[in-house]
């Protein structure tokens, strides 16, 4: 039993923060109001000045298990999520073996049930081994509750195969998420094609390599009557393409934005800093500004971190050889607050909508909210306290983030899910 007093409650429905006391017991929100009478022995937590919000939900993470456990396990990834105020995640299928059949999906979900303290869902491959040639075992994956199909990490290269998958799986309520990239144009996938790539002497990846597949895959979904979700959009024109299709209204298209594509540009790479190497690559300030506009106006339905852990050895290679990816679960909520909420660029309502409510709706899950009678799924956030992302603070097994050793404004103080306090810095 826990009574949180004088909390400022954030909701997707209103920019205003209502101050109230919230009483939690038996895994549910029992009362919201003032002067709540509680049983003797109830813990009371003064939350004056702090924000009480639903737990975040990340619909795009790479937990690396099975096959790459040195980078991340399901258990360590879940702890990184909790550390950052995230109470549910969806794994991508680019593991080894790939998540392309019911047997391996079942094994992964069993590991998650045994080792993770938050719900862990998984996507499944469109094609066997993500090779783009032959359809994966869609029926077997569907039997384990998989609803999202993606060859993330790569584009499904053969459009005829993707169209066939859409025509088949859409009948069963499944949808498709696309990593958009023409490999022949993308080159070594190192960084954006532009002034920075020329200065560093590395062949760049032009934005059109992404934008061509964004349009292609939406057109395929339009032909098949499928739901298509565009992952980790990085360019202004890519975002405008999605907006155009949404305005037509005759295809179901959703899209996500990753925090790093809002916060960083290719100029941050500096002297070959591999912490800024990711795919799609960081692009320009003009792209960032357009992507932020797309988040605010609803072109982007959700925020997703694309949490992609790698070992220090891998990231210490030369810039072209080092793998793409940045961790995000430990850092996303604080960094979004520091750069956007605290600076007035958007409010708590938008953050809750795009990083908590819409990702759950996207996956067909109940939306978490601070309302009487609902299951407890909440985060207490201190907007005045600071967080320093030291190696000791981070819970991910990997530390490949530009935020390492940086101090940002904001702190995840408490995470409660059901009847369990998962994190307590309050």
Average pLDDT in the 39-50 region?
A: 97
Which residues are marked as active site? 306
Please report the pLDDT score of residue 402 as a whole number. 97
Domains of the chain in start order, with CATH, are 2-52+372-424 (2.30.40.10), 54-362 (3.20.20.140)
Beta bridge partners of 162: none
Give pLDDT, residue 27: 98
Q: 164-179, pLDDT tens digit by residue? A: 999 999 999 999 999 9
Rounded mean pLDDT of 275-293?
Answer: 98
The mean pLDDT value of the chain amounts to 97
- 135 pLDDT band, cuts 50/70/90, is very high
Task: Look at residue 89 in the predicted model and tell me its pLDDT.
Answer: 98
Question: Please, which pLDDT band fits residue 403 given cuts at 50, 70 and 90?
Answer: very high
Tell which residue, 403, 401, 399, 405, has the closest CA to residue 71. 399
Residue 114: exposed, middle, or buried by beta-carbon count in 10 A (0-12, 13-18, 19+)? exposed
| Bridge partner residues of 58 (DSSP) | 89
Q: What is the DSSP letter of 172?
A: G
Stretch (H or E) spanning 25: strand 14-25
Residue range 14-23: average pLDDT? 96
Tell me 102's DSSP state: H
**Structure token digits, residue 63:** 């937990």
Torsions phi, psi of 10, nearest 5?
-100, 140
Q: What is the mean pLDDT of residues 44-57?
A: 98
For strand 252-257 and strand 51-54, is the pairing parallel, antiparallel, or unpaired?
unpaired
Read off the pLDDT of residues 363-379 as tens digits, 9 standing for 90 and up.
Answer: 999 999 999 999 999 99
10 pLDDT band, cuts 50/70/90, is very high
pLDDT tens figures, 194-211? 999 999 999 999 999 999
């Amino acid at each position: 039993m826990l009574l949180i007093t004088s909390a400022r409650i954030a909701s997707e429905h209103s920019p205003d923060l209502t101050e109230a006391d919230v009483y939690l017991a038996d895994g549910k929100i029992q009362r919201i109001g003032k002067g709540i009478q509680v049983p003797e022995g109830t813990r009371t937590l003064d939350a004056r000045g702090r924000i009480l919000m639903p737990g975040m939900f990340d619909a795009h993470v790479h937990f690396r298990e099975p096959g790459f456990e040195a980078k991340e396990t399901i258990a360590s990834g879940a702890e990184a999520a909790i550390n950052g105020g995230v109470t549910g995640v969806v794994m991508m299928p680019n593991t080894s073996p790939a998540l392309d059949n019911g047997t391996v999906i079942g094994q992964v979900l069993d590991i998650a049930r045994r080792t993770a303290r938050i719900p862990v869902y998984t996507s499944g491959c469109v094609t066997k081994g993500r090779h783009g040639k032959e359809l994966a075992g869609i029926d077997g994956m569907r039997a384990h509750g998989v609803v999202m199909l993606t060859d993330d990490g790569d584009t499904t290269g053969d459009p005829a195969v993707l169209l066939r998958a859409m025509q088949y799986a859409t009948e069963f309520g499944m949808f498709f998420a696309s990593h958009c990239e023409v490999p022949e144009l993308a080159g070594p996938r190192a960084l954006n094609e532009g002034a920075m790539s020329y200065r560093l002497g590395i062949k760049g990846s032009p934005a059109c390599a992404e934008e061509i597949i964004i349009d292609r895959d939406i057109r395929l979904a339009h032909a098949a009557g499928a739901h298509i979700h565009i992952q980790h959009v990085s360019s202004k024109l890519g975002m405008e393409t999605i907006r155009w299709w949404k305005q037509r209204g005759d295809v179901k298209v959703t899209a996500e934005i990753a925090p790093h594509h809002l916060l960083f540009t290719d100029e941050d790479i500096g002297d070959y800093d591999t912490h800024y190497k990711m795919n799609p690559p960081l692009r320009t300030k003009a792209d960032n500004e357009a992507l932020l506009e797309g988040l605010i106006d609803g072109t982007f339905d959700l925020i997703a971190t694309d949490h992609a852990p790698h070992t220090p050895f891998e990231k210490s290679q030369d810039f072209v050889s080092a793998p793409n990816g940045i961790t995000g679960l430990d850092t996303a909520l604080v960094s979004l607050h520091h750069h956007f909420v605290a600076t007035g660029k958007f409010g708590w309502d938008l953050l809750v909508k795009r990083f908590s409510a819409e990702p759950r709706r996207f996956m067909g899950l109940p939306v978490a909210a601070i309302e009487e009678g609902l299951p407890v799924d909440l985060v207490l956030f201190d907007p005045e306290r600071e967080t320093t992302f030291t190696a000791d603070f981070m819970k991910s097994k990997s530390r490949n983030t530009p935020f390492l050793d940086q101090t940002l404004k904001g702190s995840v103080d408490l995470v409660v899910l059901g009847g369990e306090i998962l994190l307590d810095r309050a």
